[in-house]
């Protein structure tokens, strides 16, 4: 449902999908199966679920914030959980936003449109790590 909603506002070629937390880390750090990818070309925003197989979303967020190349990468937690412990953990680890994903497709589609418009059209992204100094 999320992918279908995303593709309504973002062309499929502009969206990278990872099936689990380890693949997300490999993609963003250009390692493993994604070793040939240019690690300097990072996404404009990462939508991260907390409940990922292999490596949890919390651990992915922790590793992304700990590494210089991804420290400022915009990360939005997109989760069905509204538990305060999850919201707090995401905020403490440096998530830029925490959004509840709806199981209702119309609401989810509206949420994805708003997220895409904000992060891809309105937000001014931080400079790339190699442009900071």
Task: Show me where the domains of the chain are located.
Answer: 2-122
2-122, what's its fold? Answer: Rossmann fold (3.40.50)
Higher pLDDT pick, 98 / 105: 98
CB 77 within 8 Å of CB 61: yes
Q: Per-residue pLDDT tens for 63-83?
A: 999 999 999 999 999 998 889
* Residue 10 pLDDT level (bands cut at 50, 70, 90): confident
Helix/strand/coil (H, E, C) string of 18-47? Answer: CCCHHHHHHHHHCCHHHCCCCCCCCCCCEE
Residues sharing a CB contact under 8 Å with residue 122, sequence separation 6 or more, in sequence order: none
pTM: 0.87
CB 90 within 8 Å of CB 50: yes
Q: Per-residue pLDDT tens for 11-62?
A: 778 888 899 999 999 999 999 999 999 988 899 999 999 999 999 999 999 9
């Amino acid at each position: 449902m999320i992918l279908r909603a995303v593709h309504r506002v973002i062309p499929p070629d502009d969206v990278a999908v990872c099936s689990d937390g380890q693949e997300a880390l490999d993609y963003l750090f250009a390692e493993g199966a994604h070793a040939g990818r240019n690690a300097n070309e990072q996404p404009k925003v990462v939508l991260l679920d907390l409940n990922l197989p292999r490596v949890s979303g919390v651990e992915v967020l922790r590793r992304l914030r700990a590494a210089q190349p991804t420290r400022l990468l915009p990360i939005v937690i997109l989760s069905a959980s509204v538990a305060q412990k999850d919201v707090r953990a995401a905020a403490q680890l440096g998530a830029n936003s925490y959004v509840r994903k709806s199981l209702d497709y119309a609401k989810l589609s509206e949420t994805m449109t708003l997220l895409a418009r904000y992060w891809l059209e309105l937000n001014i992204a931080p400079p790339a790590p190699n442009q900071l100094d």
